[in-house]
Chains A and B, each alone.
Chain A
Amino acid sequence: MVTDRFISVPPGLGEDSPFVCMGDGALSLWERSSTARVMPSARPRKLAKVPFVELADGRLQGVVSSGSDARRVYVSSVEAGSYAFTCSTNNNRPCGGGRGWFCNHIRALIGEAVLQYGLERVTRYLKVEDPADAPDVHSLTSAMAGTRPAQGDRSTAAQVFSRFLRHLAYLELDPSTAPVPEMQWFPTTRAVA
């Protein structure tokens, strides 16, 4: 069974990949770990073209900068499983670029998602049946486009855009020097996905 989980194992348990099968002993240790790493942190990438991308609500979705107008952005998404796709401006005008196919915005979105989360995680999240079909981002895009996916429900654009604004709002929040003991549960790690 292909899962869309992203779960890694704490050090010392003999495994560092989320995809290897653990023995019962290692699994039970992982289950009884307080600081088990469940989600790897995002990988650094350039944000100019695609300032926001996420795997959420059962979709790969995000915001893509317009090539021509600095004030305009496109909200694009691809649904997991069906690959139903949408692309429109933040004012909900449809993107003219795709003509029923994945437009350049969607292609850029997929490319940046792979940079941020890694190919494996994106492939799993989108429920690409046979990951062997998608050894790189180009073939991942082709594999999905090749199923002739339908246009998705454009009404989700407003929701994605508001999630982008919420994301940006994190920049406006003040740092604090009061201790946050809860962060003890979120150790940093050099391990990469």
Chain B
Amino acid sequence: MVPDDEGGGLMRVDLLGDAIDGLDEALTAVDGFDDVLVGGLLRPQPGQSDGLMGLAEAVAGTPLASRVAEAAEKTAAGAAGEDHFVALAAARTALLGSVHDALAARVEEVVDRPRAEESAGEAAPGGVGDAGRGEETQASNLGAAARSWLSDLARAGWQGIDHDLVAEAAPVVSAMLPDPALRRLATLLDGFAGELAACCPGAGLERIPVRRWADLWSRAMLLTVPGAGSASAGRGEATGRLLPLGVDVQEHATAVQAQVHGVFEPADGGTPRLVRASVSAPKPDTVVGAGLWQVLRPHMSLLTAVSEERVMALDAMPLTAEGDLIWDDGRARMGDSAEVFTTARVALPTAAAFPTAPLDRHPARLAVPVLLEGYAVEEGDDGAVAFEIAGQRLAVDAERAPTAGPLTAEAVASSAACIGLLRWDAGEFLLQPLAVERTVGKKSVAVHAGAWAGGTSDKAGVRAEKAATDAVKVLRERAGKLLRK
């Protein structure tokens, strides 16, 4: 039963299960290409040309048509150059962009919130064919080095990877990481290469994350094109109140990012907007758990606001056309307390989302804050959690929460209300919980994934903080002795 008259407006959760026109066709073309990368393109087999041609046909009606058709043909003949690989990556990205748009349109129907006034911007796949700026020679050299490595990967195929090939990414990543303009590509390559290294040699792989690796490969390929990874041009400023909803943590062995989702209420009384604020850092792989918060905390006071359930007052904080606040502690002031579930019930239904940047249109990027109430919890034998609401089953990614935090799968399974991010993966919508409300006795108790972001007095949390502090201390001591001699 859906309580229509309370909670975050009227969610049409029932629509999540409905088929989306054209989705299967687009994904079939994507899958066909992804399968080609499994065996590699050094000596393409006849069977592989179907996947390549299918991708070309799928974009035949777009401006990419002729470049992709040529690339597919050359690649099937075993004569692909790097530009051809870039064209194939662009075609795949465009297709998944269309999948993203269809899914985003469906989510818009489901959440039924105000629409953004801005146009969705240029719909072409971003970046491809952008002219590089001449002065960025070092950057473009590194981009070229990355492209060359990615091309070698495509030729080897996932089944052909070995330690030597994967290790070639390391010097490129090391050279890129210190340059803020290359940080995104470096972070992606680092995570990707780490994963590939753990799976070497590819010849013995029993199963391959086919779509995932094709995603990472395509995205990295496009980011090597000069200009593709630069921040969007349209940038404004945000002055007003920011009400946090929760924090999403992303990590691989050597990087972490925390993204706070919230509602921004402009001081001028304009439409409230859904925004994000991010902080990320490279890290040694032994910095985990509470160590992640410790790395990020000093750079974003908002993490403390999240923990303490407080509003922040923003003064001319930079804001991109996609709704990303470029956080600067100097432009933010801690405000009054504001319960997150109140924000979700009162402010969230009035908040309009920003459009997604062209290059970021991918299903993995969908993360729409929602409030769910009045659901039944379904628990599988294996501990998998799903919510049943209005006759619709919604899978819950209950493990997708930071280890250094109190939001456990058990808390999710015993909840009565949930703030989460609506996502889509492997053919279905799913919910990533950010916070839940449980009824304990007659009281509602909120449990937040990011409760320890700004620090904690929780016993287990304090222990985790201490362990993380000690770990970083040892590493810094070693670095002091060994790095600067």
| A positions within 8 Å CB-CB of B | 1, 3-7, 10-16, 22, 27, 29-36, 38-39, 41-48, 51-52, 54-58, 70-71, 73, 90, 116, 164-191
B441 within 8 A of A: no
Set of chain B residues within 8 Å of A6, measured between Cβ atoms:
198-199
A44 and B291 contacting across the interface, CB-CB below 8 Å:
yes
Convert B440-475 into 0s and 1s, putting 1 for each residue whose CB lies closer than 8 angstroms to a CB of A: 000000000000000000000000100110111011
Chain A nearest Cβ from B225, distance in angstroms: 15
Set of chain A residues within 8 Å of B363, measured between Cβ atoms:
34
Set of chain A residues within 8 Å of B285, measured between Cβ atoms:
41-42, 54, 167
Question: A33's closest neighbor in chain B, by CB?
Answer: B426
Chain A nearest Cβ from B421, distance in angstroms: 10
Convert B251-266 into 0s and 1s, putting 1 for each residue whose CB lies closer than 8 angstroms to a CB of A: 1111101010000000
Residue in A31, A47, A176, A191 whose beta carbon sits within 8 Å of that of B280 in the complex: A176
Chain A nearest Cβ from B23, distance in angstroms: 12
Convert B187-222 into 0s and 1s, putting 1 for each residue whose CB lies closer than 8 angstroms to a CB of A: 110010011011110001111111110011001000
The 4 A-B pairs of least Cβ separation, nearest first, read A175-B281, A183-B250, A12-B395, A33-B426
Set of chain B residues within 8 Å of A177, measured between Cβ atoms:
277-280, 299-300, 326-328
B115 within 8 A of A: no
A175 and B295 contacting across the interface, CB-CB below 8 Å:
yes
A175 and B184 contacting across the interface, CB-CB below 8 Å:
no
B478 and A184 contacting across the interface, CB-CB below 8 Å:
no
Q: Is the interface of B mostly helix, strand, loop or mixed?
A: mixed
Q: Which of B300, B364, B397, B398 has the most CB of A within 10 A?
A: B364
Number of B residues contacting the other chain (C-beta, 8 Å)?
112
For this complex, 22 residue pairs linking A to B, each with C-beta atoms less than 8 Å apart, are A1-B204, A30-B209, A32-B27, A32-B31, A33-B426, A34-B364, A39-B198, A44-B468, A46-B474, A51-B475, A57-B163, A58-B163, A70-B481, A170-B254, A172-B483, A175-B279, A177-B299, A180-B184, A184-B364, A188-B251, A188-B400, A190-B399
Chain A nearest Cβ from B404, distance in angstroms: 10
Q: Which of B180, B231, B400, B476 has the most CB of A within 10 A?
A: B400
A1 and B250 contacting across the interface, CB-CB below 8 Å:
no
Set of chain A residues within 8 Å of B425, measured between Cβ atoms:
10, 33-35
Bound Cα distance A188, B291 (Å)? 14
Bound Cα distance A178, B235 (Å)? 13
| B positions within 8 Å CB-CB of A | 27, 31, 163, 167, 170, 174, 177-178, 180, 183-185, 187-188, 191, 194-195, 197-200, 204-212, 215-216, 219, 223, 231, 249-255, 257, 259, 276-286, 288-289, 291, 295-296, 298-300, 320, 324, 326-328, 357, 360, 362-365, 367, 380, 382-386, 395-403, 408-409, 425-428, 430, 432, 464, 467-468, 470-472, 474-476, 478-479, 481-483
Question: A159's closest neighbor in chain B, by CB?
Answer: B167
B178 and A44 contacting across the interface, CB-CB below 8 Å:
no
A186 and B255 contacting across the interface, CB-CB below 8 Å:
yes
Set of chain B residues within 8 Å of A181, measured between Cβ atoms:
184, 357, 360, 365
A38 and B199 contacting across the interface, CB-CB below 8 Å:
yes
Bound Cα distance A29, B207 (Å)? 12
Residue in B257, B382, B383, B397 whose beta carbon sits within 8 Å of that of A183 in the complex: B257
Bound Cα distance A55, B188 (Å)? 20
A32 and B210 contacting across the interface, CB-CB below 8 Å:
yes
B251 and A176 contacting across the interface, CB-CB below 8 Å:
no
Q: Contacts A55-B198, A188-B400 given; 17 further ones with Cβ under 8 A?
A: A22-B207, A34-B362, A36-B211, A36-B426, A42-B253, A46-B471, A48-B474, A56-B163, A57-B163, A169-B174, A170-B254, A171-B476, A177-B299, A185-B216, A187-B397, A187-B400, A189-B399
Question: B183's closest neighbor in chain A, by CB?
Answer: A176
Known: A57-B167, A178-B326, A180-B257. A172 touches B205 (CB 8 A): no
Residue in A11, A42, A185 whose beta carbon sits within 8 Å of that of B212 in the complex: A185
Bound Cα distance A58, B200 (Å)? 9
Known: A165-B483, A186-B191. A46 touches B328 (CB 8 A): no
A32 and B427 contacting across the interface, CB-CB below 8 Å:
yes
A166 and B209 contacting across the interface, CB-CB below 8 Å:
no
Set of chain A residues within 8 Å of B360, measured between Cβ atoms:
181
Bound Cα distance A52, B254 (Å)? 14
Bound Cα distance A12, B395 (Å)? 6
A51 and B474 contacting across the interface, CB-CB below 8 Å:
yes
Set of chain B residues within 8 Å of A10, measured between Cβ atoms:
397, 425-426
Bound Cα distance A189, B212 (Å)? 17
Set of chain B residues within 8 Å of A171, measured between Cβ atoms:
283-284, 472, 475-476, 479
Chain A nearest Cβ from B367, distance in angstroms: 7
Bound Cα distance A85, B400 (Å)? 39
Question: B220's closest neighbor in chain A, by CB?
Answer: A182
Known: A38-B195, A181-B360. A173 touches B281 (CB 8 A): yes
Set of chain B residues within 8 Å of A16, measured between Cβ atoms:
382-383, 399
Set of chain A residues within 8 Å of B383, measured between Cβ atoms:
16
B397 and A11 contacting across the interface, CB-CB below 8 Å:
yes
Bound Cα distance A38, B212 (Å)? 9
Set of chain B residues within 8 Å of A3, measured between Cβ atoms:
204-206
A182 and B219 contacting across the interface, CB-CB below 8 Å:
yes
Set of chain B residues within 8 Å of A185, measured between Cβ atoms:
188, 191, 212, 215-216, 219, 364
